[in-house]
Amino acid sequence: MKVAVIQMVSGRKIEANLYAASELLKQAAAGGAELVLLPENFYRMGGKRGWLALGQQNTSPDGYLREFLSRQASSLGLWVVGGTLPTTEVDIQERAPLPDRVFTSCFVYSPEGAEVSRYDKMHLFDVDVDDGTGRYRESDTYSAGGDQPVIASLPDVTLGLSICYDLRFPELYRALSELGANVLVVPSAFTYATGQAHWEVLLRARAIENQCYILAANQGGAHSSRRRTWGHSCIVDPWGEILAQIDAGPGVIFADLDMSHLETLRQEMPVLAHRRL
């Protein structure tokens, strides 16, 4: 399967971001991709106002942002992992978000435009970072999703779904591999400071320890005078080798996933079968 990962530098204007996303998706399709991953918050970066209203607009598949992703998938004939968008719809475990909060949700769309899977971000980024923003508290705006891993079964691969800060919790990725995931997706908006320190090493570690491909789409640039993201979106193979990467700014990268290579690696070094704990 040929895959593409999209990097963006989304701003506060939704229409401009959607136009940019649509153009990058067209580039991915023109490059022969069958599966494409968008970054976290592809539709908007910055500001807390309006999140609840946006979530309420996306309580059903015909919501504004969900319909956009469905239309892109069907018009281009792509599998689309739609980065993240806010929703107040009850999640798959019938958990509702807290009052005045939204879920940050990742939807997977088939080439026919059907929603085939949904994951609500488990781990919220409530940390202090030595950068222009300093204090990040996702729990001020978002509710955490449920505690069950989510996969999406495609004809040729099984996706394990995760979002950004999830990357620091290896138990999630082990659970996804136990469910049969062989490709892990990580739509993200890693800060410049944390990305510079940990982005690549965490991605390569998750790929190596689970013997999976990883598709990691990041935001990559200056969104305001106070907010800068790391970029370096990449595609990693099960041996931890980086197959494709982009530094900063918007763009599309491609790679071919060789599932026979993955299966051979798992047979020759069956670390998942050797687990003792």
CB atoms within 10 A of CB 60: 10
> Nearest Cα to 219, choosing from 192, 241, 254, 182?
192
> What confidence score (pLDDT) does residue 226 get?
87
Active site residue 164: yes
Q: How far apart (Å, rounded) are the C-alpha atoms in residues 174 and 49?
A: 36
- Annotated catalytic residue within 34, 106, 121, 138: 121
> What confidence score (pLDDT) does residue 78 get?
98
Question: Residue 15: is it exposed, middle or buried by C-beta count within 10 angstroms (0-12/13-18/19+)?
Answer: exposed
Confidence band (pLDDT; 50, 70, 90) for 50?
confident
Q: How far apart (Å, rounded) are the C-alpha atoms in residues 38 and 83?
A: 4
Using DSSP's 3-state secondary structure scheme, residue 157 falls into coil
> Nearest Cα to 92, choosing from 150, 173, 31, 156?
150
> Nearest Cα to 213, choosing from 188, 241, 232, 233?
241
Q: How far apart (Å, rounded) are the C-alpha atoms in residues 263 and 265?
A: 5
- Annotated catalytic residue within 34, 89, 164, 234: 164
Tell me the domain boundaries of the chain: 2-268
Q: pTM to 2 decimals? A: 0.96
Q: Fold for domain 2-268?
A: Nitrilase/N-carbamoyl-D-aminoacid amidohydrolase (3.60.110)
When the pLDDT of each residue in the chain is averaged and rounded to a whole number, the result is: 96
> What confidence score (pLDDT) does residue 150 get?
98
Tracing tokens 């300093």 back to the chain, one arrives at: 134
Question: Per mean pLDDT, which range of 30-44, 82-96, 113-127, 160-174 is the poorest?
Answer: 82-96
Residue range 41-64: mean pLDDT, rounded: 90
Confidence band (pLDDT; 50, 70, 90) for 184?
very high
Q: Given a cut of 90, is residue 41 above it in pLDDT?
A: yes
Q: Given a cut of 80, is residue 47 above it in pLDDT?
A: no
Residue range 74-97: mean pLDDT, rounded: 92
What are the Cα distances from residue 188, in Å, to 4, 85, 159? 15, 12, 16
> What confidence score (pLDDT) does residue 251 get?
98
